[in-house]
Structure 1
Amino acid sequence: MVEWFQTQAAGGSLALAVPVAAVAGLVSFFSPCVIPLLPGYLSYATGLSGADLATGEAGRRRGRMLAGSVLFVLGFAVVFVLIGATVGGVGSWLREYRDEITVVMGALLIVLGLVFAGVFTRVLPGLQRDWRIHSIPSVGLGAAPLIGALFALGWSPCIGPTYSVIVGLTYTDATAGRGALLSAVYALGLGIPFVLAGVFYSRSLGAISWVRRRQQLVMLIGGAMLVVVGVLLVTGWWDWIVQWLQLQLVDGFEVAI
């Protein structure tokens, strides 16, 4: 595994894909699918009521907020990693069609990016419909990982545009390890802000309110990122950038084994 990671990183592939995966996760957190409902999910994961959160109890029970949010993130991270590993494993059987699959995934990313940015909202409003599990009991820390897993499964149609970046980048060098790693990075991009919001809940309310007032800008930036990655995949520029990075990372030194 270590040798594989070194080879991928030295080849420039992960050096380019990992930051994109992290940004995709961050965009997902700030999207309308997640951030408006953050207090509710913190309540589900920690067992504290909405009234407790509103009255400052979260600040007095920071340890519980940390434990609940971390367990919640671990729950959805496991789901994403399993999905990524499955996609990579299946993709490894389709290596002979790599170029065709990359172009198709790139074209899909362009469409999903435009959807995410709201370009088609007036024509096809159903494309941005909020799909999720609406009723989850507030049962506290013991069930926080399960609630996190339900979050990953229940929100899949909603956060699908951003997670599709991971699927597209997995197919550029399809292996189960690559899919799992990029999915884990995506989960960190989505999960770290969630944990910070839980630990510093009172302070985070102002930032959350600021982001919600600029939700459309967040969607436009996220959609633009998806479109750019899609164009790079369709045109073959992604491979060219990877090759350039390979020269920068490998030329002049030998990667330790």
Structure 2
Amino acid sequence: MSTAIAAAHTLAASGPNQTIMSGALLLAIPVAMLGGLVSFFSPCVLPLVPGYLSYVTGVTGQDLQEARRGRMVAGAGLFVLGFTAIFVPAGIFFGALGESLREHQSTITNVLGALMILLGIFFMGLMPWLNQREFRFHRKPAAGLVGAPVLGALFAVGWTPCIGPTLASVNLLALDGGNPQRGAVLGVAYCLGLGIPFIVAAVAFRKALGAFSWVKKHYVWVMRVGGVMMIATGLLLVTGVWDSIVQDMQVWTNRYNVGI
């Protein structure tokens, strides 16, 4: 029996399950999702949500509130797939880069922690001499469902400087993990945090407008929460507490895998 358990544990440790259930990833996934959520509610994304929904559904003005829910959800979903196709490969790239630098993992963790702290300070608006900017595309894809994924991809590229601090924090975690698969999972988690609110807004557009108005009045707190999240993660990395938590979670996940 013990031999069978050991064999099962070895198989789990060598397969995709180890990537998904690793302590480092379990700890980083909620951070990545929260980063995507903060990006959605940032001042450079939230005000444009009605415009994006209008464009990807091909419905404008007051008619947007009366548009068929199915068409709204389809347009929002295709838009989300568009930026996911850009952000996930980025996560894979940073994961692969971290894997190639694994022998310097301790130094990399400290440097990435310091960078994440700086990103948090920047996101909170405490570096007024730096401006959040975006690239502009003068040619837009065709309006409607056909152009929705293309617009999503353009959003990913064009607005990366604006949502850069939160996106960079996720990619830094992928780099620290040193695994392309983990980078892909974190990229998906970030896109879920950013994309689910788009879908929710499409499903309940009228109610979402009311919620957006409340958030707009409290932008400062949205930015502060996002900044504190990044600073806290950076401090955990620099002080080594992150690794300690990861080790404890790894013990738990190993027990889980053996139990399976």
Q: Structure 2 length normalisation: TM-score?
A: 0.89
Change (3 A) 1:252 1:101: closer
1:148 maps to which residue? 152
Q: Distance in 1 between matches of 2:185 and 2:85?
A: 11
The answer on whether the counterparts of 1:21 and 1:166 sit within 8 Å (CA) in structure 2 is yes
Residue among 186, 193, 200 paired with 1:189: 193
Q: Distance in 1 between matches of 2:141 and 2:22?
A: 47
Deviations 1:178-206 (A, max 9, x none): 11110001000100011110121111110
Change (3 A) 1:38 1:9: same
The answer on whether the counterparts of 1:44 and 1:140 sit within 8 Å (CA) in structure 2 is yes
Is it true that 1:33 corresponds to 2:44 in the alignment? yes
Is it true that 1:57 corresponds to 2:61 in the alignment? no
Residue among 69, 76, 98 paired with 1:91: 98
Code of the aligned partner of 2:42: S
Q: 127-136 or 23-32: which moved more?
A: 127-136
Give 5+ residue unaligned stretches, structure 2.
Answer: 1-10
2:254 maps to which residue? 250
Name the SS for the 2:42 alignment partner: coil
1:66 maps to which residue? 73
Deviations 1:206-233 (A, max 9, x none): 0000001000000000000000111111
Code of the aligned partner of 2:133: D
Q: Distance in 2 between matches of 1:238 and 1:52?
A: 49
Q: Structure 1 length normalisation: TM-score?
A: 0.90
Is it true that 1:129 corresponds to 2:138 in the alignment? no
Name the SS for the 1:128 alignment partner: coil
The answer on whether the counterparts of 2:90 and 2:171 sit within 8 Å (CA) in structure 1 is no
Is it true that 1:43 corresponds to 2:54 in the alignment? yes
Is it true that 1:119 corresponds to 2:123 in the alignment? no
Q: Distance in 1 between matches of 2:141 and 2:63?
A: 16
Is it true that 1:14 corresponds to 2:20 in the alignment? no
Q: Distance in 2 between matches of 1:131 and 1:147?
A: 15
Segments ≥4 residues shifted beyond 4 Å: none
Is it true that 1:216 corresponds to 2:220 in the alignment? yes
Q: Distance in 1 between matches of 2:24 and 2:91?
A: 16
The answer on whether the counterparts of 1:115 and 1:223 sit within 8 Å (CA) in structure 2 is yes
Q: Distance in 2 between matches of 1:132 and 1:37?
A: 15
Percent identity of the aligned residues?
Answer: 49
Code of the aligned partner of 2:132: R
Give 5+ residue unaligned stretches, structure 1.
Answer: none
Larger radius of gyration: 2
1:174 maps to which residue? 178
